[in-house]
A and B are shown apart, each in its own frame.
Chain A
Amino acid sequence: MSSIQLASALISGVVNGALYSLLGLAIVLIFRTTAVANFAQGDIGMLGAFVLIMFIVPLGLPLWGAWIVTVCLSGIFGGLIYLCLLKPRPIAGHLNLTIRTLGLSTLAYAVALYVWGEGEPYRVPSLFPRLTTELMGFSISYDQIGTVAVALVLSIILLAFFRFTQIGLAMRAVAINPDIARLQGVNVNRIVLVVWIVAAGIGAAVGLLIAPISFLETALMRPYLLKAFTAAIMGGLYSFPGVLLGGVILGITESLAAMWLSVQLREAFVFLVLLLVLLLRPAGIFGHIIRTRV
């Protein structure tokens, strides 16, 4: 095998890994603050990509402006999801709330299939020029560089947001213990609302990054969602750096497996890696086992 093949596998692994990481970050964000595993995270991104090409692009904005508008709209949608779907009857328990997002994901997929399913797949314009460049002798497309750069910048902004802003501090407090955070004067409902807005915004950004690489179809995010969950679990579910690392490891493993084994066996291999990580570190790479009391 040539080193060029290896390099291109590594590059596409890192690109996919960056997408898994970013989507996983949104999942971890919601899971940490609300203990809900958001199964609708992927389909929010899919809806975002459809909104971009169906409604925003025809307005004639420059593409980066359309991007920002879509991400903002998706954020509003995320807020509405929280207010309509998750806020009512909160005593129902985390599992029930998780199932609600599963129902929402089914519904979002069904609606997208009904409305846009006839004409799929669609081509989505990319933010980046469709060219390749040479980097240390290997060719990389601007799409790939741009995807990794956007993912990296967004991750850094988010991590800085949690670390240095007051609302980020409140989010971490809610993540550790909502009841105690409430006693400390944190408006938990508002924080969770912000979390949903941010997570849905990230979801749309991921959808907009993925859609130009592969064609846009209603099942666009299905494979990415499972990988993002896997990345989140590998990272320990509570750790932001953990999920970022987990995503990249997963992306690289997957593209190496596709090269060495076969494309079909790739999925099985990813599962093996997940099991191996969980066998060695049941609480994830950066996680620690949380002991509960009765």
Chain B
Amino acid sequence: MRIPSARFLLFGSWVLVAFAFALAPLVLGKYAQYLISMWLIFAIAAIGLNIPIGLANIYSFGHGAFMLVGAYVVAITMTHWSWSAFPAVMISLVVAAVAGGVVGLPSLRLTGFALAIVTFAFGHTLFHLVKAFEYTGGPQGMFMPTLDSSKWLGGTYYYYIVLVIFILAFLAAYSVSSSKTGRAMRTLGASEVVAQSLGIHLLRYKIIAFVLSAVYGAISGGLLALVTGYVAPDTFSSELSISVFAAVMIGGMGTIVGPVLGSFFVVLIPELTQSVRGLSLIIYGVLFTLVSTLYPTGIVGAFHALNEYLTKARRNKGFSLSEKDDSSKAKI
């Protein structure tokens, strides 16, 4: 019998996972479906944030701002202008892309840390702005109009919408990271001087990174508004930016699976420990601190390290010849 290649197995397992998610509503109750939707929505934002952080090594601490733009544009167009959901989400993507471009503009002049604070301040400012104006609902936020579509497919319509968009977003991020754009971003992330000398247009790729992450953020924010049915400024405070950042970091930045795994923790821990006040935040804080100190490369990095360790142990058991190989590898 022919042994299927590792690539084929990997692809097959991804398809299986997707099928499992697609069939989940048949087994799971409303609450579990809601949790999965939340996880996937959060993961879309985290995958988007991974583009500037993980690939281009640009620190964006204001990702919540793009989610805010997505959610509020959807909410405003649907309640004040009574648009339907699809054009509302589309226009929110355009607005977010412009906002991402504007935030990306100073990226060439500022050093990493200053840029991080500028993006953080941008998110903080938008948060205060939507709170200040009546048009955006003030501190209470706005309720979305009730949608007929929320009852379609026995109430699972939005679960499937979220799932499909998540899969598309995941594939798109994969293709970006392995494309010319992704390689250019990695190069400039490793060294801007080297990237520039190779003919990579720094400003263009930095802005592309910000625009892409903004679009992902807006998709996530728009879905959040549609699924939860309301938008409130407190959802989009600077804590949101930090938790998306934490999701990317805990999962493993620079990988595609990492942000998805990290989001799982960041969404699930508060839900599981709801009964004890404040406990979820402590677990989250401990996890955040421990992972960042012990495993700078996140959960995915820890798995890689474990895998490498096991392979090494197995090989050492088999033949001692390969030891020389390993020691030379370790140096690199």
Contact = CB atoms under 8 A, between A and B. Distances in A.
Contacts of A270: 121, 125
Interface residues of A, number: 45
A293 to B, nearest CB: 8
Contact of B292 (A96, A265, A274): A96
Nearest to A292: B193
A107 B117 contact: no
B205 interface: no
A5 to B, nearest CB: 22
Contact of B278 (A95, A114, A230, A267): A114
A237 to B, nearest CB: 7
A73 interface: no
A110 B269 CA distance: 14
Contact of B114 (A99, A106, A233): A233
B113 interface: yes
A98 B296 CA distance: 11
Contact of B124 (A37, A88, A233, A271): A271
A89 B296 contact: yes
Given A267-B128, A271-B122, A278-B109, A85 B293 contact: yes
Contacts of B249: 99
A226 interface: yes
Contacts of B57: 95
A106 B289 CA distance: 8
A88 B57 CA distance: 23
A84 B278 CA distance: 24
B292 A103 contact: yes
Nearest to A98: B113
A271 B125 contact: yes
A117 B277 contact: yes
Interface string B51-82: 00000010100000000000000000000000
A230 B285 contact: no
Contact of B128 (A99, A103, A108, A264): A264
A114 B106 contact: no
Contact of A99 (B110, B112, B286, B292): B292
Nearest to B106: A278
Nearest to A92: B296
Nearest to A218: B278
A282 interface: yes
Contacts of A95: 57, 59, 112
Interface in A190-240: 226, 229-230, 233, 237
B228 interface: no
Nearest to A117: B278
A85 B292 CA distance: 9
A265 B124 CA distance: 12
B27 to A, nearest CB: 34
Contact of B125 (A37, A89, A268, A292): A268
A96 to B, nearest CB: 4
A230 B121 contact: yes
B132 A264 contact: yes
Contact of A274 (B121, B282, B294): B121
Contacts of A93: 296
A111 B110 CA distance: 35
Given A92-B296, A103-B289, A110 B282 contact: yes
Given A111-B285, A117-B278, A282 B124 contact: no
B15 interface: no
A294 interface: yes
A270 to B, nearest CB: 8
Given A226-B124, A274-B118, A282 B109 contact: yes
Contacts of A233: 113-114, 117-118
A100 interface: yes
Contact of B242 (A37, A102, A108): A102
Nearest to B109: A282
Interface in B238-293: 238, 242, 245-246, 249, 277-279, 281-282, 284-286, 288-293
A37 to B, nearest CB: 5
A257 to B, nearest CB: 12
A4 interface: no
A274 B114 CA distance: 10
Contacts of B292: 96, 99-100, 102-103
A275 B118 contact: yes
Given A99-B249, A268-B128, A292-B193, A106 B110 contact: no
Given A89-B294, A233-B117, A274-B121, 6 more contacts: A98-B113, A103-B285, A104-B289, A107-B288, A233-B113, A268-B125
Interface of B: 57, 59, 106, 109-114, 116-118, 120-122, 124-125, 128-129, 131-132, 191, 193-194, 238, 242, 245-246, 249, 277-279, 281-282, 284-286, 288-294, 296
The 4 closest A-B pairs by CB, nearest first: A107-B285, A264-B132, A110-B281, A103-B289
16 contacts: A89-B296, A103-B285, A106-B242, A107-B288, A113-B281, A229-B117, A233-B117, A265-B132, A267-B125, A267-B128, A271-B125, A274-B118, A274-B121, A275-B106, A294-B191, A294-B193
